[in-house]
Structure 1
Amino acid sequence: MEGKRRHVVVVGGGIAGLAAAWHLRGRGEHLRVTVLDGAPRIGGKLHATEVAGVAMDAGAEAMLARRPEGKELARLAGLGEELRLPGTTKAAILSRGVLRPMPEGHVMGVPSDVLALARSGVLSPAGLARVPLDHVLPATRVTNDVSVAAYIRARMGEEVVDRLVEPLLGGVYAGRADRLSLDATMPRIAIAARSERSLLTAAREIAADAPKDAGPVFTTLSRGMGSLPEAVAAASGAEIRTGVTVRELRRTENGWLLVTGPVPAPETVEADAVIVAVPAPAASRLLAEEVPRAAAELARIEYASMAIVTLAYPREAFPRPPTGSGYLVPAVDGRPIKAATFSSVKWPHLAESDPNLVLLRCSIGRIGEEAVLQRDDAELVALAMAEMVEVMGVRGLPRDSRLTRWGGSLPQYEVGHLDRVARVRAATAEQPGLALCGAAYDGLGIPACVATARTAAARILDHLDPTGEWQDSTDSLTKG
């Protein structure tokens, strides 16, 4: 292979796959990169279209601002000047039919201040009285990974789980607190569970340690996060091929063979190395023959489906203009809407596009609630409209609406997830020239996906060029 221009194929054109292609860029005389995606467009769950003439995200609408990977990738793809900060991040909880403020100082829903919790009114008197018992209860022994609900319920009671923690986790994972891993979804709380007797004390210490001048938690792009994939693809210099589904992945003497195309007329692509950047079920199928141990573990990762209804109302439709960023809904209340975001309040640049509009998004669907998503599009839009009438007193019809379905879109980090990922990586490490990245491993957010892409690209570069002679030492993201 000496002197030959190496070929890396990235399977999957979501943000993880595109970021991996970007991290491989700049080795033109040594390396060519091809991204294959079965969908008609790149970007995966990052996609923006117009609603009432305003470009709005149909999928993820923001990324963490306090992790650098996403922002840096946006800047290096030429979108630095398009980064925007939220106007407000004040959210509410719709608990027992009333909008109530999130208690100050919480850590992913875990209260750190009983008085602030009492002022919020989220819990019932009995639920509130249960929380300070955490100070006097004996230690809850946590040696292995446990569910979020099991630990927090033992320390603070059922209502903290149902009305605070689960709505927040539901907003991120569309998951259930009694199945989600404490270690994987709330790592700082998990560390405290093994070292502190009192969860209230631990939460207060975690809240106090939070940087006071770190700025907003989230950021977005002026044309939506959906503008990021195209920019990254263009900056990567990779060949991007959509509408190409990879059906098989086989080891060869010198690398890998990818089988694409329809079953009756298969096509093949040869590669020196492969990065698999597709969801866990698809990755499992691709790895079944060559890496069966990894495939078996990936097949056990469940995914939740959801839908997002975007509505554009005339401002006068609201008796009182919304003032916060939105609200979350506890699953225990049995409502079909799990969250609502007042997009034009949260993101002032959207309001500037048309000051006479209120733009909002309603999320529908949690793991185990697939039945509601089986309703037709018109019914789901009607559910969101009815929610706005009941909760916000909206009068009249929206000027425009959009429904986006995301089937099997959110991996569930269930108990034992970190060990499962470690086993996947151990099995994959035995295969030279193969790497994995994406949302199934170390976090669902864009920065976490970009971080897995950087690691995958570094693994491939180390395999193809173990001496480091033609790796670009100026690539801070790959080397960082």
Structure 2
Amino acid sequence: MRLRRHANLLESSLKHVSTRPLLSSQWNRHSFSTTTDGAQQEIAVLGGGITGLASAYYISKEFPRARITIYEAGPRLGGWLHSTHVEVPGGRVLFEHGPRTLRTGLSSLVTSHLVQELGLIGDTIYTSKIAPSALNRFIYYPDHLVRMPSPGISFFDIAQMLLSEPVFRGLFTGALMEIFRDGRPSALSDESVGSFFSRRVDPRVANNLVSALIHGIYAGDVWQLSVKSLFPLPWYYEGQEGSIARGLYERTLRPDGAPLAMMPARDRDMIMDFKNQKLEPEFERSLAACSVFSFRNGIQQLVDRLAETLQKNDQIAIKLNTPVKHLEMEDNNGKKVKISTQSRDSVSSKDIIVSAISSNALSNLCTSDSKTQLPALAQTHAVTVMVVNLFFSKSGLLPVEGFGYLIPQSVPFEQNPERALGVIFDSDAIKGQDTVDGTKLTVMLGGHWWDGWSCYPSEEEGINMARTLLARHLQITDEPTVARAKLQKDCIPQYTVGHEERIQRAHSQLRNSFGGRLRVVGNSYNGVGVNDCLRAARDIAKGLHEGAGYEPSRTGLDHFLGEKQWVAQGSLRKGNIGS
């Protein structure tokens, strides 16, 4: 409950912070947009997913005279963001084959301003904070749905739930005893999420509650992923105060005027970059009242509007079906990067390369004598997920209302032989995208369960697996009106133990091999959500400005250097940060 209170306090901070423009007018006066001889700078962006498109957008705003080329290996833009309309009797429904909603709060600060800049407010749809899908989230354990504590549930019901449901075993006593446990050894630089919560709270909490959460966000293994990267604040609290509870008290909950919360210094700087830039009042009120939001034509509408905006700019070229094959520095005093593709203009020179493709893919492009120059980037593993969308013309098939449910790693095999990660109740989660009533669901299969597999289920097999799961868990045996399955190969990078140290090594390798001419951005590094990617795209444009585009020490990974710096959020409320 304390962690939830902390998160709510952090989310509410935007209401108390004055902001300044995201993109300062002085950036546009910077000399980066031309070289010393007056020629226009040439910038390449690798990848036409949401991060690549947003990176090109922000860079073009900062440096309007630069020529920007986006290279996309496939036939479409958007990457993992992919929405399709499907005709059904009486109308049509929208299927999301990847992310489907955007969270509000501090994490969406960049996103919300981008939505406004792109003129998408009129097409934005919201899920209220008091809607069933916002209040009702479930975990399936060990053989039934368990509602998670949330606002609207009485204290008595929560207490009864915590005491009676097996999924919560170890939580109450573990949380009470956490403050008395020994702190971690000083030599421990990172550990798995499972190890951390087992050590600080209880192994059952790690296996049940935490692993379910990890399945929902990363589709990953709680015993492999890095707690320092995924849960940096609890890690910081233990390091500073010896326990999570003591850290919360000392830095968050004290009644003597201490800060209400802590935030990374990087977030503080982002907030101050928005000083004086306001959202439209009605849009701001709608965001404040909702838990998640999306668009009438799905999450891909954001991609489509970005692409449309970029295509109207004569300084920007988008090349589909154009995979990049090789990157290397020209023998030109380190001032150009040579980029090779399979197209007719197979070799060209660029002043700056911004890579928004996966770290593994980039590592494979940067080779010399058959060896990669960026070996640290090759060490980030990604999992494969099959997304199965089903629509039933019959309404009311779900036994409960809510956002959906997640499945912990600890669920017995006989209850999850399909190796599903969770089920989203799309009919409840976001409304206003379909023109016909019914029951719409998404089943997510695979993730870390499929690590090491050389082949995956076919579309037909995936649909059958999803239907079998729904029959066992939800007693839904109806024939779906329409069903689709899409395999998303290597779609979610895994920040395994030692992630930050590997990224620091990657920073050094990028700096040494490309001297600031190659920058990296995207979900391989600092967050896998859409909000994270848009934030990173904005940051890469800001970094180009601050480094004059070719500062040798800049790589896009600069903020990973050293320990993460935390600042008191309370000082923002008092107006003590910035001017």
In structure 2, how many angstroms separate the alpha carbons of the residues matched to 1:26 and 1:216?
Answer: 30
Classify 1:205/1:37 alpha carbon distance in 2 versus 1 (closer, same or farther; 3 Å): farther
Partner of 2:565: none
Classify 1:27/1:99 alpha carbon distance in 2 versus 1 (closer, same or farther; 3 Å): closer
CA shift for structure 1 position 404: 1.1
CA shift for structure 1 position 290: 11
Classify 1:191/1:130 alpha carbon distance in 2 versus 1 (closer, same or farther; 3 Å): closer
Asked if 2 retains the 8 angstrom alpha-carbon contact of 1:381 and 1:403, the reply is yes
In structure 2, how many angstroms separate the alpha carbons of the residues matched to 1:189 and 1:29?
Answer: 42
Classify 1:372/1:104 alpha carbon distance in 2 versus 1 (closer, same or farther; 3 Å): farther
Asked if 1 retains the 8 angstrom alpha-carbon contact of 2:149 and 2:158, the reply is no
In structure 1, how many angstroms separate the alpha carbons of the residues matched to 2:216 and 2:492?
Answer: 11
Report the residue type matching 2:167 in the other structure: L
- Which one of 185, 190, 215 corresponds to residue 145 of structure 1? 190
Q: How does 1:24-43 map to 2 (within 5 A)?
A: 24-26=59-61, 30-43=65-78
CA shift for structure 1 position 296: 0.7
Report the residue type matching 1:164 in the other structure: L
- Tell me the number of residue pairs that the alignment of Structure 1 and Structure 2 aligns: 454
Asked if 1 retains the 8 angstrom alpha-carbon contact of 2:423 and 2:443, the reply is yes
SS of corresponding position for 2:463:
helix
SS of corresponding position for 1:365:
strand
State yes or no: 1:247 paired with 2:291. Answer: no
- Which one of 439, 442, 445 corresponds to residue 358 of structure 1? 439
Report the residue type matching 1:440 in the other structure: S
Classify 1:270/1:464 alpha carbon distance in 2 versus 1 (closer, same or farther; 3 Å): farther
Classify 1:69/1:290 alpha carbon distance in 2 versus 1 (closer, same or farther; 3 Å): farther
CA shift for structure 1 position 343: 0.8
Asked if 2 retains the 8 angstrom alpha-carbon contact of 1:140 and 1:151, the reply is no
Partner of 1:191: 236
CA shift for structure 1 position 400: 0.6
State yes or no: 1:330 paired with 2:408. Answer: yes
In structure 1, how many angstroms separate the alpha carbons of the residues matched to 2:161 and 2:245?
Answer: 12
CA shift for structure 1 position 357: 0.9
CA shift for structure 1 position 261: 0.5
Partner of 1:310: 389
Report the residue type matching 1:167 in the other structure: A
CA shift for structure 1 position 369: 2.1
Classify 1:315/1:203 alpha carbon distance in 2 versus 1 (closer, same or farther; 3 Å): farther
Report the residue type matching 2:82 in the other structure: H
Asked if 2 retains the 8 angstrom alpha-carbon contact of 1:140 and 1:155, the reply is no
In structure 2, how many angstroms separate the alpha carbons of the residues matched to 1:374 and 1:304?
Answer: 12
Partner of 1:45: 80
- Which one of 116, 126, 140 corresponds to residue 94 of structure 1? 140
Partner of 1:477: none
SS of corresponding position for 1:45:
coil
Partner of 1:18: 53
In structure 2, how many angstroms separate the alpha carbons of the residues matched to 1:278 and 1:466?
Answer: 20
SS of corresponding position for 2:146:
strand
CA shift for structure 1 position 453: 1.7
CA deviation string 1:439-461 (max 9, x = no partner): 01111111211222222223334
Classify 1:442/1:124 alpha carbon distance in 2 versus 1 (closer, same or farther; 3 Å): closer
In structure 1, how many angstroms separate the alpha carbons of the residues matched to 2:329 and 2:549?
Answer: 19
SS of corresponding position for 2:79:
coil
State yes or no: 1:170 paired with 2:244. Answer: no
- Which one of 521, 526, 534 corresponds to residue 442 of structure 1? 526
In structure 2, how many angstroms separate the alpha carbons of the residues matched to 1:84 and 1:132?
Answer: 41
Report the residue type matching 2:93 in the other structure: V
Classify 1:308/1:268 alpha carbon distance in 2 versus 1 (closer, same or farther; 3 Å): same
Partner of 2:469: 387
Asked if 2 retains the 8 angstrom alpha-carbon contact of 1:56 and 1:223, the reply is no
Q: Pairwise CA RMSD of aligned residues?
A: 3.1
CA shift for structure 1 position 423: 2.5
CA shift for structure 1 position 234: 2.1
In structure 2, how many angstroms separate the alpha carbons of the residues matched to 1:97 and 1:82?
Answer: 40
Partner of 2:93: 54
SS of corresponding position for 1:10:
strand
Partner of 1:221: 295
Asked if 2 retains the 8 angstrom alpha-carbon contact of 1:94 and 1:330, the reply is yes
Query: Which 5+ residue runs of structure 2 have no aligned equivalent?
Result: 1-34, 152-156, 254-259, 263-286, 552-579
TM-score when normalising by structure 1: 0.86
In structure 1, how many angstroms separate the alpha carbons of the residues matched to 2:454 and 2:444?
Answer: 12
CA shift for structure 1 position 187: 1.2
TM-score when normalising by structure 2: 0.72
In structure 1, how many angstroms separate the alpha carbons of the residues matched to 2:350 and 2:369?
Answer: 15
Partner of 1:456: 540
CA shift for structure 1 position 141: 3.7
Report the residue type matching 1:414 in the other structure: T
Asked if 1 retains the 8 angstrom alpha-carbon contact of 2:389 and 2:443, the reply is yes
Partner of 1:110: none
CA shift for structure 1 position 116: 7.3
Q: Tell me which moved more, 191-200 or 380-389.
A: 191-200
CA deviation string 1:214-243 (max 9, x = no partner): 554432222111121221122233211110
Report the residue type matching 1:275 in the other structure: V
Q: How does 1:149-298 map to 2 (within 5 A)?
A: 149-199=194-244, 215-236=289-310, 237=313, 238-252=316-330, 253=332, 254-261=335-342, 267-289=346-368, 295-298=374-377
Q: Tell me which moved more, 270-279 or 195-204.
A: 195-204
In structure 2, how many angstroms separate the alpha carbons of the residues matched to 1:372 and 1:220?
Answer: 35
CA shift for structure 1 position 18: 0.6
CA shift for structure 1 position 170: 1.5
State yes or no: 1:72 paired with 2:113. Answer: yes
In structure 1, how many angstroms separate the alpha carbons of the residues matched to 2:251 and 2:141?
Answer: 25
Asked if 2 retains the 8 angstrom alpha-carbon contact of 1:364 and 1:373, the reply is no
Asked if 1 retains the 8 angstrom alpha-carbon contact of 2:388 and 2:466, the reply is yes
Q: Tell me which moved more, 274-283 or 291-300.
A: 291-300
SS of corresponding position for 1:307:
strand
Asked if 2 retains the 8 angstrom alpha-carbon contact of 1:64 and 1:70, the reply is no
Classify 1:96/1:24 alpha carbon distance in 2 versus 1 (closer, same or farther; 3 Å): same
In structure 2, how many angstroms separate the alpha carbons of the residues matched to 1:114 and 1:191?
Answer: 29
SS of corresponding position for 1:70:
helix
Asked if 2 retains the 8 angstrom alpha-carbon contact of 1:100 and 1:122, the reply is no
CA shift for structure 1 position 13: 0.7
State yes or no: 1:340 paired with 2:340. Answer: no
Report the residue type matching 2:104 in the other structure: A
CA deviation string 1:139-191 (max 9, x = no partner): 34464111111111012222101110011112111111111111110111111
In structure 2, how many angstroms separate the alpha carbons of the residues matched to 1:462 and 1:125?
Answer: 50
CA shift for structure 1 position 366: 2.0
SS of corresponding position for 2:379:
coil
In structure 2, how many angstroms separate the alpha carbons of the residues matched to 1:168 and 1:344?
Answer: 21
In structure 1, how many angstroms separate the alpha carbons of the residues matched to 2:404 and 2:524?
Answer: 27
In structure 2, how many angstroms separate the alpha carbons of the residues matched to 1:159 and 1:93?
Answer: 14
SS of corresponding position for 1:348:
coil
CA shift for structure 1 position 432: 3.2
Classify 1:29/1:227 alpha carbon distance in 2 versus 1 (closer, same or farther; 3 Å): closer
Asked if 1 retains the 8 angstrom alpha-carbon contact of 2:240 and 2:247, the reply is no
Asked if 1 retains the 8 angstrom alpha-carbon contact of 2:170 and 2:202, the reply is no
In structure 1, how many angstroms separate the alpha carbons of the residues matched to 2:299 and 2:55?
Answer: 18
Classify 1:121/1:26 alpha carbon distance in 2 versus 1 (closer, same or farther; 3 Å): same
Partner of 1:84: 125
In structure 1, how many angstroms separate the alpha carbons of the residues matched to 2:407 and 2:400?
Answer: 17
Asked if 1 retains the 8 angstrom alpha-carbon contact of 2:162 and 2:168, the reply is no
In structure 2, how many angstroms separate the alpha carbons of the residues matched to 1:414 and 1:273?
Answer: 30
In structure 2, how many angstroms separate the alpha carbons of the residues matched to 1:174 and 1:372?
Answer: 18
CA deviation string 1:103-127 (max 9, x = no partner): 349xxxxxxx994761571437577
